[in-house]
């Protein structure tokens, strides 16, 4: 029995490495029903931006690095939108404890992002997100082309550089 278990582990790990080299990117967003900021049902497959790049950032009101990331980007978001047409979806994974604090916090901070609520982490699970913040970049066709976990000041510069590349039609590796 033990041997079978270890075989299973090894195969799983090999499948992981296999996947990593070949299927790192999402061709299509998973279809999960979450909520918008008014409490209405929102299908994750409806995330769109008229053929322009999209950023999806998973965050929570209690996550300090997430707040730092969204605050830093809020300062330059206007300019980003004007220059590149990019749209940022901030998906809060706050559960029942703090989901009701999301709208007051987002408005209170004056953020202009499109905010979605994922109170039981259904979308987070479907996107295989572990620790937050976790940021996805989608090209104009809605394909995930880049992901990053954690935040350090300056990460936002790499992100907008990638958005510019997408707009120029360059491929992201």
Partner 1 sequence: MTLKKGTLLVVGFLWSLCIIPGAIHAQDILKGSEVHGSTQLDAVYYLQDNKMGITDSTLDGKLMRMNGFTEVNYSLGNFTAGLRFEAYLPALTGYDVQNNGVGVPYFYANYKNDFIDITAGNFYEQFGNGMMLRTYQEWTLGYDNSIRGLRVKVMPYKGITLKGVYGVQRYYWEPYKDYNRGIVKGFDADFYLNDMFTSLSDAKVKLTLGGSFVSDYQQGKTKEIADNGKIYLLKMPENVSNYGGRFNLNIGGFNWFTEYAHKINDPNALNNYIYKDGNGLFTNFSYSKKGLGISLMSKWIDNMSYKSDRTIANNMVNINYLPSITKEHTYALASMYPYATQPDGEVGISGTVTIHFPKNSTLGGKTGLSIAANFSQVNGINKTALNDTTMVNQLGTLGYNTSFYSVGSEVYYQDANIEVTKKFGKNWKGIFTYLYQTYNKDIIEGHANDYGTIYSQIGIADISWNITKKNNLRFEFQGLWTKQDKGNWAAALVEYTVAPAWFLSVQDQWNYGNSDSGQQLHYYLLSAGYTNHTTRVALSWGRQREGIICVGGVCRYVPAANGVTLTVTSSF
Site residues (vs partner 1, CB under 8 A): 1, 4-5, 8-9, 11-13, 15-16, 18-20, 22-24, 26-28, 30-31, 33, 38-41, 61-64, 68, 71, 95-98, 100-101, 103-110, 119-122, 125-131, 134, 146-150, 152-155, 157-158
d(CA 71, CA 67): 6
Closest distance of CB 170 from partner 1, Å: 18
Cα angle 140-142-145, degrees, rounded to a multiple of 5: 85
Q: Which is nearer to partner 1, 22 or 141 (CB)?
A: 22
How many CB atoms neighbour CB 140 within 10 A?
A: 16
Task: Map tokens 């979450």 to a residue.
Answer: 34
Q: At what angle do helices 102-109 and 64-84 cross, to 10 degrees?
A: 60
Q: Give me the sign of the Cα torsion angle 78, 80, 86, 90.
A: negative
Cβ nearer to partner 1, comparing 27 with 82: 27
* Closer residue to partner 1 (CB): 81 or 105: 105
Q: How far is the CB of 104 from partner 1 (least distance, A)?
A: 3
């Amino acid at each position: 029995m033990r041997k079978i278990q270890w075989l299973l582990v090894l195969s799983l790990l090999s499948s992981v490495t296999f996947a990593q080299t070949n299927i790192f990117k999402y061709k299509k967003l998973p279809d999960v029903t979450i909520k918008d900021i008014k409490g209405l049902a929102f299908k994750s497959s409806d995330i769109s931006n008229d053929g322009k790049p999209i950023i999806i950032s998973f965050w929570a009101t209690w996550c300090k690095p997430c707040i730092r990331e969204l605050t830093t980007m809020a300062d330059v978001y206007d300019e980003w939108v004007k220059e590149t047409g990019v749209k940022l979806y901030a998906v809060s994974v706050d559960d029942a404890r703090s989901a009701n604090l999301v709208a007051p916090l987002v408005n209170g901070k004056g953020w202009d992002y499109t905010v979605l609520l994922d109170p039981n982490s259904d979308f987070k699970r479907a996107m295989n997100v572990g620790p937050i913040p976790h940021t996805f970049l989608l090209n104009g066709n809605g394909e995930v082309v880049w992901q990053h976990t954690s935040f350090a000041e300056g990460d936002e510069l790499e992100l907008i550089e990638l958005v510019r590349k997408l707009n120029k039609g360059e491929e992201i590796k």
